[in-house]
Structure 1
């Protein structure tokens, strides 16, 4: 018996969207409940932003930078600093100055001031616990907090990293001779300013940070030092210097005698007078 020719039947294909719809229909019909993720092409994990804290910034500057980066009202980070107090040395008495380690930190939409400051404090502890810094501090009879305090002075006083070891030696030599440190940076911290113009009246202010009248290190760090300053604090450059002055950019003079130091100060004053801008009338 003959049969008429019939073309083969074509199987219909479902598109991707059709297959998904059929799958959902089956699940709904059977009473199954699922959570279907929404697929969005081009979207991936959140890329962290970066917040850089430079060496030598004071806590107040760090707080302001955190508030700006996280788009929070001024004072938010300072208030959050209370949360990191338990992680600080007892000597700090809850003040994180010196322990907000300068570095670049990742910031996301989930970052809070407390978590960011805690990250900085953990990093400071890690740097102070490195073998060279920890062993060097112990060899000088210094606690980690004292190392951070001395490093903060070195960070503020040294014009560049190459001079940090010499500045550290001046600090050590003065402490060994029971001489006041006489550091302008500690006066500036007490007066909440940054300047090279320290007057005679400035050196007579009643403050525990007045190292012209009080012997020893300041009671707390005066900024947040980096690892180079910490290393210099515990391994100062050999020398007998007791004084130093930066005569001009890139030219810091170190002296063992006050007579020699006075000559360098005279050169500083001469150079400054020659390069002073015109005064307003």
Structure 2
């Protein structure tokens, strides 16, 4: 019967007194060195980054002003930095970062520069436009990433809720397919550097590249910073035959396939606005 083979017994290595003292002194030296590194003269604790929030729908001038404030720079510093920042923008942008200053929360320290922050924002936007859902959807719709950003910026400005974004996108796609002017108030507001629902007949007749009442197709550039939800809606619109929409009152946006139906909704919008104006004015002495 074969005998069981056993490994030779190993004796535990025992440190001599001199060895124990050497280890003790080495440990003390390591702790002392760590304390010395921590307390070296002139050394400062790592700076905790601050947070800069860029909301969805902000225009480039709003982003520039927010960066100037956060970095404690003179007004106009960030806007001036665009020319030298070598931002990774698509060629269609022609150096204009509108639509590519992605809305998010960004870390900022005392060493952050406007160029670095703008580059971070543009790279983030490029990354979102390159996500499979957005990129593949854009190719299916025959749109470049820049066109996707432009359409998404309109959706961001026009939709009251995320649930409405797909329907707003469908209206835009349907109008483009029929060679109809988009007739978006948001693009007029961008042209006039304002934000209002009070668009007049005279406004719709101005000679301006962003007047989508007079000019067909998408505007020449995005009109704000769209988020990922708006980008996704731009390339995957909700199925429907709508050509018009109007927000009759907060939380109540009506989408219509015919102009007659749309006119009824606009009339209701006007009645609601008139009633709200009378309520704000209060009772008049008579």
TM-score range, shorter chain: 0.7 to 0.9
Map of 1:235 onto structure 2? 236
Runs of 4 or more off by more than 2 Å in structure 1? 83-86
Partners of 1:184 and 1:232 lie apart in 2 by: 19
Query: Quick one: distance in 1 between partners of 2:237 and 2:38?
Result: 60
User: Which residue pairs with 2:99 in the alignment?
Assistant: 98
Contact map agreement 2:244 2:262 (CA 8 A) in 1: yes
What is the deviation of 1:44?
Answer: 3.3
Query: What is the aligned partner in structure 2 of residue 12 from structure 1?
Result: none
Q: Distance in 1 between matches of 2:203 and 2:86?
A: 32
Unaligned segments of structure 1, at least 5 residues: 1-18, 24-35
Query: Residue in 2 aligned with 1:184?
Result: 185
Measure, in 1, the Cα distance between the counterparts of 2:199 and 2:47.
Answer: 48
Structure 2 stretches of 5 or more lacking a match? 1-27
Q: Does the 8 A contact of 1:98 with 1:152 survive in 2?
A: yes
8 A Cα contact 1:85 1:95, kept in partner: no
In 1, the alpha carbon distance for the partners of 2:110 and 2:71 equals 8
User: For residues 8-59 of structure 1, what are the alpha-carbon distances to aligned partners after superposition, in whole Å with 9 as ceiling and x for unaligned?
Assistant: xxxxxxxxxxx99xx9xxxxxxxxxxxx65618xx63211000000000000
Write the distance in 2 (CA, Å) between the matches of 1:100 and 1:125: 10
1:120 is aligned to 2:107: no
The two structures have a TM-score, normalised by structure 1, of 0.85
**Residue 174 of structure 2 corresponds to residue 170 of structure 1:** no
Alignment correspondent of 1:278:
281
C-alpha distance in 2, partners of 1:85/1:242?
40
CA distance in 2, matches of 1:84, 1:234: 30
Q: Which SS does the other structure have where 1:246 is aligned?
A: strand
Scaled by the length of structure 2, the TM-score of the pair is 0.83
In the other structure, the counterpart of 2:224 is 223
Q: Output the CA distance in 1 between the equivalents of 2:157 and 2:194.
A: 12
Shift of 1:84: 3.8
Task: Write the mapping of 1:122-271 to structure 2, written as runs, cut at 5 A.
Answer: 122-271=123-272
1:55 maps onto 2:40 in alignment: no
Match of 2:11 in 1: none
8 Å Cα contact 1:48-1:107 kept in structure 2: yes
Q: Deviations over 1:109-159 (max 9, x none)?
A: 110000000000000000000000000000010000000000000000001
Contact 1:152 1:222 in 2 (8 A): yes
Query: SS of the residue aligned with 2:117?
Result: helix
